[in-house]
Structure 1
Amino acid sequence: MRDNLLEMPKDNPFQNDLFDRKTIAENFMKIFEADEEGIILSIDSAWGTGKTTFIKMWETMINNSNEYNDKYETFYFNAWENDYIQDPLLAILTEIEVNDDKKRQVFENIKNKGKKIVKPLLSTGLKLATHGIINIDSLQIDSYIKDEMPELIEKIGDSMFEETVELKKSRQIFKEVLEKEQQTSGKTIIFFIDELDRCRPTFAIELLEVIKHLFSTKGVVFVISLDKEQLSYSIQNIYGQNMNVDGYLRRFFDLDFKLPMPDKVQYFNNKYKNIELKNINLETLKIFKQFLFGFIKGYNFSLRDIDKIIYYIKYLIPLVKEFQGSYGRTYTVVISYLYAYLISIKIKDSNLYRKIINLDYENNETDIKLTFELDNIKNISFQHEFDDIIKNKNIFNKLNEEVLSKFLKALKVIEDYNINLESNEFRILLNDNWESLSMGYLFYDKQCNLIKNLEFVENI
């Protein structure tokens, strides 16, 4: 999906908008135009569902449309890429300095004024922190006169009070500067904050605090993309599992919007049509895609996961001889099924895939079923409402119940000279009208071509 950012035409950023998200952006622009208080909006969606692509399209639309660019100034801030900076306000100001290529005046002024304000904010925080460096256990009480201790405590208290007042004043000054700059420009300022949920928990929370207490003012809008479920885990890691996360987050957001779940098969097909595959058996490819669609849905693939599938199709399929010629029906179906499964777990569960590569499992049916959760695969539907090559449910049952188990057992014992892969133990019969297949056909010179091809693509 990140490729979409490179392909995005500035004059029509939603040109490849598969999920009608332009309508969402346009509707919120109407809300922003009518707002008189300032808005903090959360765009909530799971990781890998296209949040970054959406808000970059949205920002590009604003900056390159006559309808919007004379009314709005935008700035994009990737929170995750900046969470190594301790102070969120400093991180935002630094990002303005580094990445605002246009040097738009409103952000230049905010940065310049903010630099003057951030110094007392940082120094105040430092001074407040240093009050905690006195170690009572190691303090030589005898070196102090009893009458001097109350005076020392009073001085610390006065200093903390004065510095807290200074901190509060600095925050207020910044808000006044921000509001003045917005009024001078005559434009609504929109900050797009991305990938908040991937930040360090403390940075994510402190950034929300900065936005709410320093930037929340008339004429300033924040669009914050996040996975609220993941952010909730971060908050609970700090405040405890019993934390009322929803109530806590409502303090920060004026509006919450849950992005509709995208049609993943539609997304796959749109990406797939841009792949040029030559001399490929189209029927074999359709069978392979039918299995892939089942795993995409069954394993709840994200859009980024689907991007990885497209990568494997692009570079793997030309290597696989079974996709280039005509083979027996059973062999074609089994090889397509196994490739679809291996690619899927390689993307969704790399640890499980490494168990296969390293043969890190016991060679018995019970252990294989438990380790690879084969019973769960029985619940995956490989039938779709379009263009299915395989329609017989009994064939799916045979694939789910026998093929993976026999393949994994064969893979485990391939180097054992006493094992006969032509025996009934390693033989597959999917349909009475089809030819039977022994697992020996999947191995050559004690090597599995499926694994070899996948590992080769991994190293490209």
Structure 2
Amino acid sequence: MDKPKKLKKCQQVEIDAADPFKNDVLNRKANVEILTQFITSYEQSIVLCIDAGWGQGKTTFIKMWQQYLKNQDIPTIYFNAWESDYTDDALIALIGEIGLSIQELVGEDKTIAEKLLGHLYKLAVNFTKAAAPTMVNLIIKAVCGSLTDADEVSKASGNLSESLVKEQITKYEESRKTLGSFKEALSELARCYADGDAHKPMVIFIDELDRCRPNFAIEVLEKAKHLFNVDNIVFVLATDKTQLGHSIRAVYGQGLDVNGYLRRFIDFDYLLPILDEFNFIDSLFKKFSLNEHLKSITNYPIENVLKYTIGLYKLTLREQEAFCNILNIVVRTNNHFVMDEYFLLCLLIVLKLKFPDLYNSLNKNNKNNFIDKALRNLNSQYSAYIDFDFDFDLHFDSYYLEFLELILLTVVRPDPSFSNEEIIDKYVREYEFDDTKKQKLIKSLSMLGRYQANIYTLLLIKQAIEISTSFKLDNAAT
């Protein structure tokens, strides 16, 4: 007797040190080679933004690129801004990350780098945020009752304010004097990392900036541009510029021209392309062994349904991972679903990921309302999909959408005596569809056959999805 296959989880993409593109299913090598040529052609410092939406593979991309640069003997540093935004000062975090990477150096380079870093620490004091311990002590005294007289508190506050102003002015003057020395030491440190090769910049990758606290994200940009703007240093930001814009507006107001603001800090933008949106889902099916398992359940090519759904709802890479995690558990723990119900399964998983409010509204007392909203949601996605003109190789004459609509319509059949043709007529009139749509629905009847879903079918599928999400599986970082 064959042993049952164990559940698999999607692992983080492994970056092979010798061949960073060994496990690249999105054909990123050409992008990396072009960008490497671009950044190494500049003698001055530049800030390059790799712009892509949430879950579109930015982290995997820059880690592949980082390893590729290492193999070219170009020094790199990876700085996860989101993991560091618990600190109060972005400059401390940036210099600290550079300091940690010194361990990768050897011999004289390491000795020189450590001395330069020590010098940088001393100079950086003039650019870090000033503490105000005296004010803190004053507040503590006031709270504890040591300063009971209002005039005394007022006088002490006035003297302290004057002292703080003088302190800040002095600190500003010192920072202006030491700025040149700071940049010179930083440039020397970069050359040290590049083994003295002036044609090899130090590339600092900044990831997850769009997930940071708004103030911290802005501070990272400011420090990168103003203090690290020296020869031999290139910054690569991996971020969703739209989300970053929301963070900036949260600080400066909704009326801010975000693009104009970001142009002060970002020299070049590179929109990370999705070269083949189905390569990734094919690789996930292979990792999960889903094709093999699904063929043992049904001869119908479920992967085509999934690809159609991905195209229709424009699932990000991370959403595709989440989809496959759920699908993998559901199909391996429920062997009673028939072929038509996999269409409903795919739809409900997508609604859970993209439209959770609609998904959560599914219950036996909300049957008609849910089906109506689900049908309108499907058609709105279809309209946007056609307008966007995707290059989709699964032709629409396959009638996946119409078949799914028919399954949903059987859930709210007005009366058992209603024929499928009568249901289609009612649907076309109610939603004001044209005759072309009606003919597609009629042609899809041959696929539907005698199958009829009901609200309990949907609820069983939803229950299977909810059980699957109680499993704690680590998703791959993209």
TM-score (norm 1): 0.77
- Contact 1:197–1:226 (Cα < 8 Å) also in 2: yes
- Would the alpha carbon gap of residues 368 and 456 (structure 1) be closer, same or farther in structure 2, given more than 3 Å must change? closer
- Would the alpha carbon gap of residues 349 and 375 (structure 1) be closer, same or farther in structure 2, given more than 3 Å must change? closer
- Alignment equivalent of 1:300, drawn from 293, 306, 314: 314
Distance 2:158 2:469 in 1: 68
Distance 2:322 2:289 in 1: 16
- Contact 1:406–1:426 (Cα < 8 Å) also in 2: no
- Would the alpha carbon gap of residues 125 and 153 (structure 1) be closer, same or farther in structure 2, given more than 3 Å must change? closer
- Contact 1:322–1:332 (Cα < 8 Å) also in 2: no
- Alignment equivalent of 2:344, drawn from 322, 325, 338: 338
Distance 1:169 1:425 in 2: 86
Distance 1:89 1:406 in 2: 61
Distance 1:385 1:281 in 2: 24
- Contact 2:77–2:101 (Cα < 8 Å) also in 1: no
The residue type paired with residue 344 of structure 2 is L
1:459 aligns with 2:470: yes
SS at match of 1:114: helix
How far residue 374 of structure 1 moved from its aligned partner, in angstroms, is 2.3
Q: In the alignment, what sits opposite 2:416?
A: 423
1:162 aligns with 2:170: yes
Q: In the alignment, what sits opposite 2:247?
A: 234
- Contact 2:45–2:233 (Cα < 8 Å) also in 1: yes
**Cα distance per residue 1:174-219 (max 9 Å; x no partner):** 2121012234441421111111111111000000111111111011
Distance 1:62 1:231 in 2: 27
- Alignment equivalent of 2:451, drawn from 408, 412, 437: 437
- Contact 2:407–2:448 (Cα < 8 Å) also in 1: no
How far residue 425 of structure 1 moved from its aligned partner, in angstroms, is 7.2
Distance 2:418 2:236 in 1: 59
Distance 1:392 1:254 in 2: 46
1:245 aligns with 2:258: yes
**Cα distance per residue 1:273-328 (max 9 Å; x no partner):** 333245643794644323322321222210111112222333322333257xxxxx
How far residue 264 of structure 1 moved from its aligned partner, in angstroms, is 1.8
Alignment of 1:110-189 (within 5 A): 111-122=117-128, 125-127=130-132, 157-184=165-192, 185-187=195-197, 188-189=201-202
Alignment of 1:319-398 (within 5 A): 319-322=333-336, 332-333=339-340, 335-356=341-362, 359=363, 363=366, 365=368, 367-369=369-371, 372-380=373-381, 391=397, 393=399, 396-397=401-402
1:190 aligns with 2:203: yes
Point out the more displaced range, 149-158 or 302-311. Answer: 149-158
**Cα distance per residue 1:25-70 (max 9 Å; x no partner):** 2222223333221111111111111111111001111112xxx21x
TM-score (norm 2): 0.75
Distance 1:403 1:308 in 2: 25
How far residue 93 of structure 1 moved from its aligned partner, in angstroms, is 3.0
Identity across the alignment (%): 29
Point out the more displaced range, 38-47 or 157-166. Answer: 157-166
1:257 aligns with 2:260: no
**Cα distance per residue 1:161-180 (max 9 Å; x no partner):** 21211233344432121012
Structure of higher RCO (CA pairs closer than 8 Å, 6+ residues apart): 2
Q: In the alignment, what sits opposite 1:84?
A: 86
**Cα distance per residue 1:223-280 (max 9 Å; x no partner):** 1111111101111111111111111111111221111234222221132233324564
How far residue 9 of structure 1 moved from its aligned partner, in angstroms, is 1.3
- Contact 1:47–1:227 (Cα < 8 Å) also in 2: yes
SS at match of 1:186: coil
Distance 1:355 1:374 in 2: 14
- Would the alpha carbon gap of residues 32 and 125 (structure 1) be closer, same or farther in structure 2, given more than 3 Å must change? same
- Contact 2:209–2:237 (Cα < 8 Å) also in 1: yes
Point out the more displaced range, 81-90 or 308-317. Answer: 308-317
Distance 1:150 1:451 in 2: 65
**Cα distance per residue 1:101-138 (max 9 Å; x no partner):** 5256376455433333344444x62249959x89xxx9
- Would the alpha carbon gap of residues 436 and 191 (structure 1) be closer, same or farther in structure 2, given more than 3 Å must change? same
- Would the alpha carbon gap of residues 181 and 397 (structure 1) be closer, same or farther in structure 2, given more than 3 Å must change? closer
How many residues align structurally?
A: 420
Could you tell me which runs of 5 or more consecutive residues in structure 1 were left unpaired when the two chains were aligned: 324-330, 411-420
- Contact 2:407–2:452 (Cα < 8 Å) also in 1: no
Alignment of 1:283-294 (within 5 A): 284=298, 286-294=300-308
Distance 1:378 1:95 in 2: 49
How far residue 143 of structure 1 moved from its aligned partner, in angstroms, is 5.9
How far residue 351 of structure 1 moved from its aligned partner, in angstroms, is 3.7
- Contact 1:422–1:439 (Cα < 8 Å) also in 2: no
- Would the alpha carbon gap of residues 139 and 73 (structure 1) be closer, same or farther in structure 2, given more than 3 Å must change? farther
Distance 1:380 1:150 in 2: 62
- Would the alpha carbon gap of residues 107 and 228 (structure 1) be closer, same or farther in structure 2, given more than 3 Å must change? farther
Point out the more displaced range, 206-215 or 92-101. Answer: 92-101
- Contact 1:39–1:221 (Cα < 8 Å) also in 2: yes
Distance 2:60 2:160 in 1: 56
